[in-house]
Amino acid sequence: MRKISEEQKKTLLTRSKTGAFLTAFCVLLIIVGVFSDSRSSDNGGFISQLNEKLYPLLPILMSVALVLILTWIPFAVARELDNCFTKFGSRRINFWIGLTMLLAALIPTIYMLVSIYLPYYNSDVNILWWNSIIFAFVQYAVPGLLLIPAYFILKKSNNFNKVNLFGYSFIIVLLPILLINVFYLFFVRSFATVMVIVFLVSMTDTWAYISGTIFGKHKLAPIISPKKTWEGAIGGFLVAISLALLLMFTFSIGESQFKLQTEFFGAQYQSAGSAKWGPGETIGWWMFTLAMFAVLSVYSMFSDLLFSVFKRKNKIKDYSNIFPGHGGLLDRIDSLAPTLVLYSAIMFIVGVCSTFINHTDTILTPAAAAISGA
């Protein structure tokens, strides 16, 4: 354990209080998510009866709040992109950039929601299978088109270089993909599972700082972020995974929340909670969850370093001052945004693969018959 200065003690105390607040807040939202996602009243009693009365209201309120927040995010990020990269200082340009990112997110999201909720798609496994492939392409292809205007917008600024081109393009494409995947996770995977990942990333960051301040000796990336240490990264990694798994086990999220899609979203999503392969109560599922949390925790730390590169290159401390004392929106989601996208991609692949494994006959037989008939 190394010596800590008075300033470090004060900062450590502040970060510890923030971490405690985030922990309590995330746990509360997870409880709300588990409660609102539950659709069963088989056990009877007061809680089940209350759940039956509140269930229609809670998802509606959360959906409205989610839409309002996600609508505001692109415009806030557009301002921060200008503050860091282009430095135009034009509200009109920032508005159109924010609107473009929002539209790039809305098109695939509307396609996803229509494909999920139309009875025609829910009743045919073959259409669901191909629809998954189409959605996987659209959710990255549409935001990817923003690479073209991103190049010309940055080219017009006085801050054009390879690092800024990569950073500006990366963020302007990442944000719509993030919004699409948040909607996907919220409507298909359940609110509680999203909050577990938010909790994992928050705890990785908080405990990496605490562990690094107390035990840190070996620099992790001295040029990019001099204060980050290997001891902090390992401490954040171990504590975050342990706490996230404890939450999963405590609220039976691996058992109930991942099976949520069985009731409402058809065979494509039903297979992700099936007994054959996929999330469930087996040791294999918990091993898969452990491995996934390990990957996401490490990835969140890498994402944090990546965003630090962009700030250091442009000699700014924070992307903006939207949150006094905490910086801007990108300062808050620098590690969360890429991690949520990666988690969504992992679970999407799990769902598609389990669909193929569990419904091989249903998927391949019509195709084979069509080929032989031809």
Task: Output b/e per residue, 129-162; b: 16+ Cβ within 10 A.
Answer: bebbeebeebbbebbeebeeebeebbeeeeeeee
Residue 237: what pLDDT?
95
Average pLDDT over residues 355-369: 52
Q: Give the range among 147-151, 202-206, 284-288, 311-315 with minimum mean pLDDT.
A: 284-288
Average pLDDT over residues 300-310: 91
Q: Does the pLDDT of residue 370 top 70, yes or no?
A: no
Q: Does the pLDDT of residue 47 top 50, yes or no?
A: no
Average pLDDT over residues 145-151: 91
> pLDDT digits over 17-34, tens only?
766 777 787 777 777 666
Say how far apart CA 93 and CA 99 lie, in whole Å.
10
> Which amino acid does the sequence have at 177?
I
Do 227 and 247 meet the contact criterion of CB atoms below 8 Å apart? no
Write down the H helix ranges in the chain.
Answer: 6-37, 45-54, 57-81, 91-117, 119-122, 125-144, 147-156, 162-184, 191-215, 230-250, 253-256, 261-264, 266-270, 283-313, 329-333, 336-358, 360-373
Average pLDDT over residues 79-95: 90
Say how far apart CA 8 and CA 78 lie, in whole Å.
33
Give CA separation, 101 vs 46, 95, 286, in Å. Answer: 45, 10, 36
Residue 45: what pLDDT?
41
Query: Tokens standing for 149?
Result: 């205007």
Residue 327, helix vs strand vs coil = strand
Residue 371: what pLDDT?
44
DSSP strand pairing (219-221 vs 225-229): antiparallel
**Dihedral-angle region of residue 87 (phi above 0 means left; psi in -120 to 50 means alpha; beta otherwise):** left
Give CA separation, 342 vs 168, 243, 293, 362, in Å. Answer: 20, 20, 11, 29
Over pLDDT 90: what percentage of the chain? 23
Say how far apart CA 218 and CA 229 lie, in whole Å.
5
Query: Tokens standing for 41?
Result: 């009243």
Q: Does the pLDDT of residue 276 top 90, yes or no?
A: no
Q: In terms of pLDDT, which residue wins out, 219 or 42?
A: 219
Residue 112: what pLDDT?
77
Average pLDDT over residues 209-220: 86
Residue 9: what pLDDT?
73
Residue 134: what pLDDT?
78
Q: What is the pTM of this model?
A: 0.79
> pLDDT digits over 96-135, tens only?
999 999 999 998 888 877 776 665 545 554 455 566 677 7
Q: Give the range among 84-88, 170-174, 194-198, 304-308 with minimum mean pLDDT.
A: 194-198
Q: In terms of pLDDT, which residue wins out, 24 or 170?
A: 170
Query: Tokens standing for 348?
Result: 């999407």
- DSSP of 226-253, one letter per residue? EEEEHHHHHHHHHHHHHHHHHHHHHTTH
